[in-house]
């Protein structure tokens, strides 16, 4: 099968969907002739022109509110934030308006809007360009939150996001953007709420998201040499969250480690741990463990940055500790 | 002083790029701001300006135009007039752009560890407690191996194994009536045995009465006879199979059609392919691979069978994804060959070989177990003829393949001639909710024709 | 723009429906029939009436917390308004919204809002969708003087002007943002002049003169439909009741000021003009007054007889069907 980068796969999804549906338009800073800071819209301006590839002023609140209105009037906007940190300027619009519109209108108005941007710690982006925030978004009723890992997932989930009538936050980890992987030529969609079992194992379950998935997989390789079979689950969407697949895995392994680059307090790991305790208590052979990025803003210097985030080594150690519980 | 020209980083995500060409020649004089060379990053071709003035020197082993090179790779030098190429630097290598990772104590967040509990107060994990109950193990006496002295699953299983080794096996002897009564009253027969005695209805009823008064946490009696009746916990795969099979049996309106096809030509075809590939380094197609291709062609002609039921609508699939039932140590698994319609027999053979290997070694990816639109199950190797396979919901139908066996067959009724032909039994179970009997029968008839006359599908 | 007698009487009738409905709501509030907030529009009726007289149901109105008048003028029946404030299933938002979340997309009423500002962005967004789809519809935002000090005003007007969007921004300048005098929180209290900063026309009109509003709105809407871009209309008006029912209406404005504005009551002034210009006779006007009164009383009765929504439906429509799992 042919291989594409994460960004190219997501871009192919956007290109195909824009050809299919003329009500889709993209807004963002530098997404027009420039093709997007991360080449998310490269080549599309030439195809679809300024009305559908709209370069905006630096008015994050403004264009989120505007696209909410456009979605209310039957268009299907895609807001490209470049760095999703910039969405914080639009939180009022996003949470009070976009997310609540379907409910407030008792389902008569739909909100088909995709809000995308790159997330994650890496490449010395420092603290205004390194946030992920998915736990915050997942706490909001009305928002769907997608965190793909592979190019295959990026394309299939982007298509589902675009066709969804709900607002979808589509988060692209900056360390994954250039990763290549197989992407079929023919059309496919990946439904929300379906975790990917990235590796099958019987001894311990590791749940990881985005850039933590490849790290967890290398940790699993390392532990395979020690005779430990690690199962790695990538939920792919944080809202909805596929708790069933995690529970099935814990039923098999009895041990759960949640690896999350973002903060521990009130994070997605806490949510997964609580749900597994609720529904899978009798399957647990050890306390549920979490390994999180440090509870701090993101520093610039590579040595500080690396110290902040779990990697294959720290994950492997956390798994060993969990097995000793 | 020699100034190094390196492959520049053109954006955060760039790790390597293409060195396109030099815009100056080796030995040219260069001024600050002159364009030196063109390189291609993630987005576009960029022309690189010189930060220095001097003479451009391109070492002989510098990357040639068109080469893909890592960020930081040395491309050339700018030297002062009369300056020599730096000694010992003729080997072009990527500069180390990786930063040393910190040796400092990691500040990663993990929750505080639970503290160790006193030994006279053993704790047990919820899972270990559940398994102890399932296996009838008295866990209070076990020494836990968990970090805090907690009793965990492995401790319980070890204790159960010890019990089985040290205590003699004995068969339970139970009267049929007693067994039925025990089920009705919810009495565990293992709790009733006295050595050598056959369990009668009266024993069961007495135990039931006692159960009402006995505290729930009391240990089962007669633990020593546990081995005879030990329950095998459902594995995850078994549990899924159980659920799927039961759902299919309860919800699908399953009807099975059977027929017999003359597979003589089919067998000959496969033998020819196998012989042809004898020295090739590719897997020879199995009968299943050939059937997979053949069925895909038939499904494209009969799309009503390449369908599934989703709530209240029937979805006909354009692509044909065929699942193959594979018997593994973990139980029945059904890896899927996707897009069979677009694949050659050789591709199918390679893919099915990979899938079977991965499924048997427990390395199969989840996506390889998903998305089937039709399933083939083959029990021919066990000398089975026709059978009634269970539909793999939400698919519409499943083809059961029986053994290929030589039989005496009437060739010409009028001339009363018979011949020995290789016959194959075929069973098609379909969901009558999705498709009616006649179209399903036409589909099976098509498969039969294809088995008998392989050119019919080979040419498609 | 010349108006027929029929059109003039229609304006009178709409203003009266708003006034009588608001008076009914004020009474019901005192009786404890309204469960939450109730911001009345008494004194400002000419604005909604004069603007909405130009709108089709496919044009979209985005409104504020003081939005009963906009909903009624856009075509919501008083029954649905009153039932909503009574928290009933028959309310315009099926009891989900109350005063500040009135949704009737079927007539182009795209919501009142509890947050000041977003309506400006959403009207611009609807206008973007209309332009994208090539229709001649317009998006209209109603907002108060307070919103003109909010970032959404700047971002929304800037983008709407930059892209010639078919939007009309109607500022109801009633001199007070909640209970803060507008002139005390801006150095330039002439809202219409702010349009110049965005390169769009700004018009100030007497918001208590329904014909003046009608005239200005007509020009702005014609301009928008013709693809010539947005207009800011400042309607100078006044609310003669407190910010919200049940609130003390003192300490920030004087009784004399209120009395002076009551002398300029838009309905009384318009009634007098209709008689003076001989567009209608006393009997004709009285017939309208009786009919409106009957409608409003019947509507309150209807609301009071309507059932409360079923508690089991409280989580309906958080998400669309498209991503349910």
Alpha carbon A172 to chain centroid, angstroms: 6
Q: Do B109 and A294 touch (CB under 8 A)?
A: yes
CB of B143 less than 8 A from some CB of A: no
Please say whether the beta carbons of C99 and C66 come within 8 A. no
Which residue from B minimizes the CA distance to A185?
Answer: B339
- The Cα–Cα gap between B308 and B321 comes to 12
Q: Which of B86, B65, B83, B67 is nearest to B23 (CA)?
A: B65
Burial class (CB in 10 A: 0-12, 13-18, 19+), C284: middle
Distance between A219 CA and the closest CA of chain B, angstroms: 16
Least confident of B80-84, B130-134, C218-222, C317-321: B80-84
Whether the pLDDT of residue C118 is over 70: the answer is yes
Q: Residue window 172-201, chain A: list those with CB within 8 Å of chain B.
A: 174, 177-178, 184, 186, 196-197, 200
Name the residue facing B125 among A284, A295, A318 (closest C-beta).
Answer: A284
CA A248 to chain centre: 22
Q: Which residues of A touch C129 (CB under 8 A)?
A: 23, 69-71, 73-75
- For residue C120, name the pLDDT band (cuts at 50, 70, 90): very high
Pairwise CB contact (< 8 Å): B127 & A285: yes
Which one of B9, B10, B11, B12 would you mutate to disrupt binding with A, by most A Cβ within 10 Å of its Cβ? B12
Distance CA A86, CA A30 (A): 14
- Nearest by CB to residue B99, choosing from A285, A290, A303, is A303
Distance in Å, alpha carbon of A94 to nearest chain C alpha carbon: 10
Given a cut of 50, whether residue B132 has pLDDT beyond it is: yes
Residue B12: pLDDT above 90? no
Q: Each residue of C197-227: b (16+ CB within 10 Å) or e?
A: ebebbbbbbbbbbbbbbbbbbbbbbebbbee
Among residues A210, A209, A172, the alpha carbon closest in space to that of A38 is found at A172
N residues, chain B = 460
Tell me whether residues A310 and B129 touch, CB distance under 8 A. Answer: no
Please enumerate in sequence order all residues whose Cβ is within 8 A of that of B315, keeping only pairs 6 or more positions apart, or say none: B307, B308, B309
Residues B255-264, mean pLDDT to the nearest whole number = 92
- Residue of A264, A303, A318 with shortest CB distance to B102: A303
Query: Is residue C77 a contact partner of residue C299, using CB atoms and an 8 Å limit?
Result: yes
Task: Give A88's DSSP letter.
Answer: G
Q: How many pairs of residues across A and C have Cβ atoms under 8 Å apart?
A: 172
Name C61's bridge partners.
C109, C140
DSSP labels, C271-295: HHHHHHTTSS-HHHHHHHHHHHHHH
Q: Which residues of A touch B130 (CB under 8 A)?
A: 282-283
Q: What is the pLDDT of residue B172?
A: 64
Is B97 a residue whose pLDDT tops 60? no
Q: Which residues of A touch C154 (CB under 8 A)?
A: 62
Q: Which residue of C122, C131, C155 is in closest CB contact with A59?
A: C155
Measured distance CA(C81)–CA(C79) in Å, rounded: 5
Q: Do A38 and B13 touch (CB under 8 A)?
A: yes
Residues of chain A positioned with their CB less than 8 A from the CB of C322: 163-166
- Chain C positions touching A108 (Cβ under 8 A) are 103, 105-106
> How distant, in Å, are the alpha carbons of B14, B36, B79 from that of B27?
30, 12, 9
Q: For an interface test with B, give the residue of A286, A298, A320 to mutate (most B CBs within 10 A).
A: A286
pLDDT at B353 over 80: yes
Give the closest of A254, A306, A321 to B127, CB-based: A254
Chain A contact for B183 (CB, 8 A cutoff): no
Q: Which residues 58-97 of chain A have a CB within 8 Å of chain B? A: none
Higher-confidence residue: B219 or A94?
A94
In the block, which residue shows the tokens 């089975």?
A: B384
Between B227 and B451, residue with greater pLDDT: B451
Q: Which of A72-86, A206-220, B357-371 has the lowest mean pLDDT?
A: B357-371
Name residues whose C-beta falls within 8 Å of residue B41's C-beta, 6 or more positions apart in sequence.
B10, B11, B14, B17
CA atoms of B104 and B100, how far apart (whole Å): 12
d(CA C100, CA C92): 12
A120 within 8 A of A209, measured Cβ to Cβ: no
- Average model confidence (pLDDT) for chain B? 81
Q: Is the ipTM of this complex over 0.90?
A: yes
CA distance B137 to chain A (A): 16
Q: What is the mean pLDDT of residues B224-229?
A: 38
Three-state secondary-structure class, residue C233:
strand
Beta bridge partners of residue B69, listed in sequence order: B17
Q: Which residues of C touch A240 (CB under 8 A)?
A: 323, 325
Summarize the confidence of residues A112-133 as an average pLDDT: 96
Catalytic: A129? yes
Half-sphere exposure of C74 (CA within 13 A, CB side): 30
* The pLDDT of residue B106: 66
Closest C-chain CA to A105: C103
Q: What's the sign of the alpha-carbon dihedral C253, C256, C259, C263?
A: negative
- Give exposure, C49-77, as e/b (b: 16+ Cβ within 10 Å): bbbbbbbeeebbbbbbbbbbbbbbbbbbb
Of residues B101 and B180, more confidence is placed in B180
Distance from CA of B397 to the nearest CA of A (A): 23
User: What is chain A's alpha carbon radius of gyration, rounded to the nearest angstrom?
Assistant: 20
Q: Interface partners of C (3+ CB pairs, < 8 Å)? A: A
CB neighbour list of residue A40: distance below 8 Å, 6 or more residues apart: A7, A10, A11, A14, A31, A80, A116
- Whether the predicted pLDDT of B183 surpasses 80: no
Q: How many CA atoms lie within 13 A of C109 on its CB side?
A: 28
pLDDT of residue B196: 57
Q: Is the dihedral of CA B61, B66, B72, B78 positive or negative?
A: positive
The per-residue DSSP string of A123-138 comes to: TT--TTS----HHHHH
From residue B447, give the alpha-carbon distance in Å to each of A100, B258, B262, B399: 54, 12, 11, 10
Is pLDDT above 80 for B232? no
Q: Which residue has the higher pLDDT, B138 or C140?
A: C140
Tell me the residues of chain A between 128 and 147 that have a Cβ less than 8 Å away from chain B: none
Task: Categorize the per-residue pLDDT at B209 as very low, low, confident or very high, splitting at 50, 70 and 90.
Answer: confident
On the question of pLDDT at A229 being above 80, the answer is yes
Average pLDDT over residues A132-144: 97
Strands (E), C174-213: 176-177, 180-181, 202-206
pLDDT at A121: 96
Contact A325 B147 (CB under 8 A): yes
pLDDT band of A247, cuts 50, 70, 90:
very high
Average pLDDT over residues B118-126: 77
Max CA distance (Å), chain B: 113
- Parallel, antiparallel, or unpaired: how do β-strands B374-378 and B322-324 relate? parallel
Average pLDDT of chain A? 97
Task: State the DSSP code for B220.
Answer: P
* DSSP state for residue B381 in the 8-state scheme: G
Angle of CA points B22, B24, B27, to nearest 5°: 120
Q: Which of A174, A284, A324 sits opposite B127 (nearest CB)?
A: A284
Percent of chain C with pLDDT over 90: 95
pLDDT surpasses 80 at B118: no
* Contact call for residues C136 and C106 (beta carbons, < 8 A): no
* Residue A287 reports pLDDT greater than 50: yes
Q: How confident is the model at residue B81 (pLDDT cuts 50, 70, 90)?
A: confident
pLDDT higher than threshold 80 for residue B428: yes
Chains that touch A (3 or more CB pairs under 8 A): B, C
User: A226 to chain C, minimum CA–CA distance in Å?
Assistant: 38
- Decide: A171 and A145 in contact? Cβ < 8 Å: yes
pLDDT class of A307 with cuts at 50, 70, 90: very high
* pLDDT attached to residue A318: 97
Closest-CA residue to C191 (of C253, C146, C125, C138) = C146
pLDDT computed for residue B187 by the predictor: 73
Q: Average the pLDDT over B32-57 and give the result.
A: 86
* Mean pLDDT computed over C202-215: 98
Query: DSSP labels for A4-21?
Result: EEHHHHHHHHHHHHHHH-
Which contacts qualify for B355-360: CB closer than 8 Å, 24 or more apart?
B355/B324, B355/B326, B356/B324, B356/B326, B359/B326, B359/B328, B359/B333, B359/B335, B360/B326, B360/B328, B360/B329
Residues contacting C172, CB < 8 A, separation 6+? C44, C47, C66, C142, C143, C144, C145, C207, C235, C237
* B21 or B251, higher pLDDT: B21
**pTM, whole model, 2 decimals?**
0.70
Is-cis flag, bond preceding B109, omega within 30? Answer: no
Taking only residues 199 to 218 of chain A, the set having a beta carbon closer than 8 angstroms to any beta carbon of chain B reads 200
* pLDDT attached to residue B330: 76
Q: Which of C89, C95, C51, C87 is nearest to C71 (CA)?
A: C51
Per-residue pLDDT band for B220 (boundaries 50, 70, 90) equals: very low
Residue A193 has pLDDT above 60, yes or no: yes
Q: How many CB pairs under 8 A join A and B?
A: 110
> Of all helices (H) and strands (E), which one includes residue B181?
helix B176-185
pLDDT tens, residue by residue, C248-257: 888 899 999 9
**Helix or strand (DSSP H, E) at B403:** strand B397-412
- Considering only CB atoms, which chain C residues are within 8 Å of A62? 121, 151-152, 154-156, 158-159
Contact, C46 vs C270, CB < 8 A?
yes
Nearest by CB to residue C125, choosing from A70, A142, A164, is: A70
Cβ atoms C239, C25 nearer than 8 A: no
At B99 the pLDDT is: 43
Answer whether A39 sits within 8 Å of B153, measured CB to CB: no
Confidence of residue B120 (pLDDT cuts 50, 70, 90): low
Q: What per-residue confidence (pLDDT) applies to B248?
A: 84
User: What pLDDT sits at residue A147?
Assistant: 98
Ranges A71-80, B261-270, B277-286: which has the least confidence: B277-286
Taking residues B298-311, report their average pLDDT: 88
Q: Residue C157: which pLDDT band, with cuts at 50, 70 and 90?
A: very high
Chains that touch B (3 or more CB pairs under 8 A): A
Give the length of chain A: 325
Contacts A42 to B, Cβ<8 Å = 43
Alpha-carbon distance C296 to nearest alpha carbon in chain A (angstroms): 24
Q: Which residues of chain A are within 8 Å of residue B366 when distances are taken between CB atoms?
A: 196-197, 200
Res B392 pLDDT > 80: yes
pLDDT tens-place string over residues B133-162: 888 888 888 888 888 889 999 999 998 888
How do residues C90-106 score in pLDDT, each as one tens digit?
999 999 999 999 999 99
- A16-48 tens-digit pLDDT: 999 999 999 999 999 999 999 999 999 999 999
**Which one, of B311, B268, B317, lies nearest residue B296 by Cα?**
B317
CB atoms within 10 A of CB B169: 10
> Looking at residues A243-253, what average pLDDT do you find?
96
Instruction: State yes or no: cis peptide before B394, omega within 30 of 0.
Output: yes
CA separation for the pair B320, B313 (Å, rounded): 19
Which of 261-300 (A) contact B at CB < 8 A?
263-264, 281-287, 289-296
Q: Hey, is C138 helix, strand or coil?
A: coil
Q: How confident is the model at residue B101 (pLDDT cuts 50, 70, 90)?
A: very low
**Between chains, do B236 and A294 touch, taking CB under 8 Å as contact?**
no
Q: Which residue has the tokens 């009130």?
A: A266
Tell me the catalytic residues of B. Answer: 432, 436
């Amino acid at each position: 099968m042919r291989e594409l980068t994460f960004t190219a796969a997501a871009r192919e999804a956007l290109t195909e969907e824009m050809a299919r549906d003329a009500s889709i338009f993209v807004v963002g800073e530098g997404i027009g002739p420039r093709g997007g800071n991360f080449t998310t819209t490269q080549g599309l301006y030439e195809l679809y022109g300024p009305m559908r590839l709209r370069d905006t002023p630096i008015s994050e609140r403004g264009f989120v509110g505007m696209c909410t209105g456009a979605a209310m009037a039957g268009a299907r906007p895609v807001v490209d934030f470049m760095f999703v940190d910039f969405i914080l300027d639009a939180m009022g619009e996003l949470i009070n308006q976009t997310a609540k519109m379907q409910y407030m209108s008792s389902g008569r108005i739909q909100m088909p809007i995709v809000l995308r941007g790159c997330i994650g710690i890496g490449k010395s982006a420092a603290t205004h360009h390194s946030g992920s925030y998915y736990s915050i978004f997942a706490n909001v009723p009305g928002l769907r939150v997608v965190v793909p890992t592979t190019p295959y997932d990026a394309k299939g989930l982007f298509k589902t996001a675009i066709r969804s009538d709900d607002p979808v936050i589509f988060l692209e980890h900056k360390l994954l953007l250039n990763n290549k992987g197989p992407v079929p030529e023919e059309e496919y969609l990946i439904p929300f709420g379906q975790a990917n079992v990235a590796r099958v194992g019987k001894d311990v379950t590791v749940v990881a998201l985005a850039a933590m998935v490849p790290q967890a997989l290398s940790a699993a390789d390392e532990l395979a040499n020690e005779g430990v079979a690690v199962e790695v689950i990538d939920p792919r969407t944080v809202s909805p969250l596929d708790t069933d697949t995690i529970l099935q895995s814990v039923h098999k392994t009895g041990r759960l480690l949640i690896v999350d680059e973002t903060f521990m307090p009130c994070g997605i790991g806490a949510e997964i741990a609580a749900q597994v305790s609720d529904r899978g208590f009798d399957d647990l052979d050890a306390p549920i463990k979490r390994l999180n990025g440090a509870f701090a803003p993101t520093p610039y210097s590579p040595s500080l940055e690396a110290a902040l985030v779990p990697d294959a080594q720290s994950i492997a150690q956390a798994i060993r500790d969990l097995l000793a519980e | 002083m020699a100034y190094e020209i390196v492959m520049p980083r053109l954006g955060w995500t760039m790790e390597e790029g293409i060195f396109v060409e030099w815009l100056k020649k080796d030995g040219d004089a260069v001024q600050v701001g002159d364009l030196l060379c063109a390189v291609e990053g993630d987005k576009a071709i960029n022309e690189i300006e010189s930060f220095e003035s001097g003479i451009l020197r391109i070492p002989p082993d510098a990357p040639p135009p068109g080469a893909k090179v890592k960020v930081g790779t040395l491309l050339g030098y700018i030297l002062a007039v009369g300056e020599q190429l730096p000694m010992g630097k003729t080997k072009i290598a990527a500069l180390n752009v990786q930063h040393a990772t910190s040796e400092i104590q990691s500040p990663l967040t993990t929750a505080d560890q639970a503290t160790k509990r006193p030994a006279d107060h053993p704790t047990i994990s919820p899972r270990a407690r559940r398994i102890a109950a399932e296996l009838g193990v008295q866990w209070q006496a076990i020494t836990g191996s968990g970090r805090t002295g907690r009793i965990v699953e492995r401790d319980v299983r070890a204790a159960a194994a010890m019990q089985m080794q040290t205590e003699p096996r004995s068969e339970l002897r139970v009267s049929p009536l007693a067994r039925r009564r025990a089920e009705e009253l919810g009495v565990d027969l293992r709790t009733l045995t006295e050595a050598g005695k056959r369990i009668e209805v009266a024993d069961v009823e007495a135990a039931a009465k006692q159960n009402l008064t006995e505290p729930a946490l009391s240990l089962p009696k007669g633990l020593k006879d546990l081995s005879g009746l030990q329950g095998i916990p459902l594995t995850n795969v078994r549990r899924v199979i159980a659920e799927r099979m039961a759902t299919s049996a309860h919800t699908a309106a399953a009807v099975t059609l059977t027929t017999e096809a003359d597979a003589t030509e089919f067998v000959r075809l496969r033998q020819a392919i196998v012989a042809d590939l004898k020295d090739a380094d590719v897997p020879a197609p199995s009968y299943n691979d050939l059937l997979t291709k053949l069925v895909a062609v038939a499904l494209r002609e009969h799309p009503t069978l390449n369908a599934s039921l989703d709530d209240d609508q029937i979805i006909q699939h354009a692509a044909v994804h065929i699942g193959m039932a594979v018997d593994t140590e973990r139980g029945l698994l059904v890896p899927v060959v996707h897009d069979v319609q677009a694949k050659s027999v050789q591709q199918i053979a390679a893919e099915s070989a990979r899938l079977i290997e991965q499924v048997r070694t427990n390395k199969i990816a989840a996506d390889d177990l998903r998305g089937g639109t039709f399933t083939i199950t083959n029990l021919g190797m066990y000398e089975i003829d026709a059978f009634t396979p269970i539909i793999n919901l939400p698919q519409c139908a499943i083809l059961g393949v029986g053994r290929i066996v030589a039989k005496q067959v009437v060739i010409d009724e009028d001339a009363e001639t018979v011949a020995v032909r290789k016959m194959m039994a075929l069973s098609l179970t379909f969901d009558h909710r999705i498709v009616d009997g006649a179209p399903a029968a036409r589909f099976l008839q098509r498969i039969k024709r294809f088995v008998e006359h392989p050119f019919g599908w080979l040419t498609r | 723009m010349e108006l027929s007698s029929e059109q003039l009487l229609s304006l009178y009738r709409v203003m009266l429906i708003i006034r009588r409905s608001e008076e009914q709501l004020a009474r019901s509030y005192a009786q404890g029939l309204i469960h939450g907030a109730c911001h009345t529009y008494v004194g400002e009726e000419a604005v909604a009436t004069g603007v909405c007289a130009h709108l089709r149901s496919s044009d979209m109105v985005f409104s504020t917390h003081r939005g009963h008048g906009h909903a009624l003028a856009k075509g919501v029946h008083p029954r649905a308004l009153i039932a909503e404030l009574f928290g009933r299933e028959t309310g315009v938002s099926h009891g989900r919204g109350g005063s500040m979340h009135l949704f009737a997309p079927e007539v182009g009423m795209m919501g009142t809002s509890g947050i000041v500002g977003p309506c400006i962005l959403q009207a611009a967004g609807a206008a973007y969708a209309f332009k994208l789809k090539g229709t001649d519809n317009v998006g209209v935002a109603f907002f108060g003087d307070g919103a003109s000090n909010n970032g959404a005003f700047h971002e929304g007007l800037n983008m709407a002007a930059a892209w010639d969007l078919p939007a009309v921004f109607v500022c109801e300048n009633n001199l007070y943002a909640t209970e803060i005098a507008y002139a005390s929180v801006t150095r330039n209290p002439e809202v219409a002049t702010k349009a110049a900063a965005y390169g769009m026309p700004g018009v100030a009109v007497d918001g208590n003169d329904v014909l003046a509003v009608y005239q200005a709105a007509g020009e702005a809407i014609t301009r928008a439909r013709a693809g010539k871009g947005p207009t800011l209309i400042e309607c100078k008006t006044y609310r003669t009741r407190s910010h919200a029912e049940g609130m003390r209406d003192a300490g920030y404005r004087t009784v004399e000021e209120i009395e002076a504005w009551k002398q300029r009551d838009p309905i009384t002034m318009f009634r007098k003009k209709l008689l003076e210009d001989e567009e209608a006779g006393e009997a004709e006007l009285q017939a309208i007054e009786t009919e409106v009164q009957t409608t409003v009383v019947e509507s309150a009765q209807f609301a009071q007889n309507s059932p409360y929504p079923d508690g089991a439906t409280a989580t309906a429509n958080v998400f669309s069907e498209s991503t349910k799992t």
